[in-house]
Amino acid sequence: MEAFGPIVDVEWLSGSLDDVHVFDSRSYLDGRSGRDEFARGHIAGAVFVELDTDLAAPPSQPGGRHPFPTAEHFAEAMGRLGYDGSRPAVVYDDVGGGMAARLWFMLRLLDLPAAVLDGGLQAWRWEIDTGPNPVDPVTFEVRPWPTDRLVEADDVARRLESGDVVMDARSHSRYLGKENRIDPRFGHIPGAISMAWEDNIDDFTGAYLSRDELAQRYRTVTRSVATGGRPIAYCGSGVTACHDLLALELLGVEADLYVGSWSEWGADETRPVETGDGTD
């Protein structure tokens, strides 16, 4: 377990199910129920974790669509799901890790061993369970969220002015400002660069790109880090941005999360908005 994470493959997990705590973190923007999908089929022994209720506080302004829960709320949720932090956690979804990375990042913030299942449920070739998976509640120690890697809107604006790279992990079309049903306004934080999280994964397998491919993709970010910069990632509501944070961890780079993300920034009419890619 010394080299555990930030991703593990299905072969490794198939031989380690008794040694880890597996979370199914499926969540969808199209109205489907992740819990219903879990009931239809999940990795044996996995427990379902709900993004909206277990991994987030209620939507708010300021705060955005998925603010971080309080440390107490998160501890209650983890304990209720049978996780006390004593075993490594493996988190999966069915969209290449875009949802799973949120819990991965939260656990890593608390210095707990966690990994995302590379390729997700689609890559799993072994037993699939159906129906509920009862767990015995345990006690998860309340651990305060460290504030050094969770930034607010004013921090983003200030650090952009100082030259730090800010990455927008949403789809490139949303970054450009194409009208959609999700965003409160259309566009991106002025000065942010487009780093859509889906481009971290192979289109056919849903697995992360190789480290060499990720290094090429994140060359602008790593160049900034080499000169003393510290990256920030945001997305729609602080969920899929964690996929970019995981990609950077694979490259040995630590970056911060703007939790409120565009659901907070875009809803604040006092905040500037930029559209296009700056090349028009």
CA atoms within 13 A on the CB side of 77: 23
CATH fold of 150-265 reads Oxidized Rhodanese; domain 1 (3.40.250)
What top-level class would CATH report for the domain 7-129? Answer: alpha beta
pLDDT given at position 245: 98
In this prediction, residues 59-67 reach a mean pLDDT of 97
| Residue 196 banded pLDDT, cuts 50, 70, 90 | very high
pLDDT given at position 239: 98
User: What phi, psi does 224 have (nearest 5°)?
Assistant: -65, -40
| Average of per-residue pLDDT values in the chain | 95
Give the torsion through C-alpha atoms of 170, 173, 175, 176, to 10 deg. 180
| Residue 280 banded pLDDT, cuts 50, 70, 90 | very low
Place of tokens 């990375």: 101
Residue 12 pLDDT greater than 90, yes or no: yes
List all residues 6 or more positions away from 274 whose beta carbon is below 8 Å from its beta carbon.
177, 187, 188, 189, 190, 191, 192
Residue 23 pLDDT greater than 70, yes or no: yes
Quote the strand ranges of 65-149, DSSP E. Answer: 89-92, 114-117, 128-129
Bridge partners, residue 188, by sequence: 274
7-129 and 150-265 agree in CATH topology: yes
pLDDT given at position 4: 81
Distance (Å, whole) CA 198 – CA 240: 9
Domain ranges of the chain: 7-129, 150-265
Length of the chain: 280
pLDDT given at position 278: 62
User: What phi, psi does 173 have (nearest 5°)?
Assistant: -65, -40
Active site residue 235: yes
Of 179, 234, 270, 252, residue with least CA distance to 66: 234
Percentage of the chain exceeding pLDDT 90: 94
Distance (Å, whole) CA 106 – CA 170: 20
Active-site choice (20, 90, 106, 235): 235
Give the predicted TM-score (pTM) of the model.
0.96
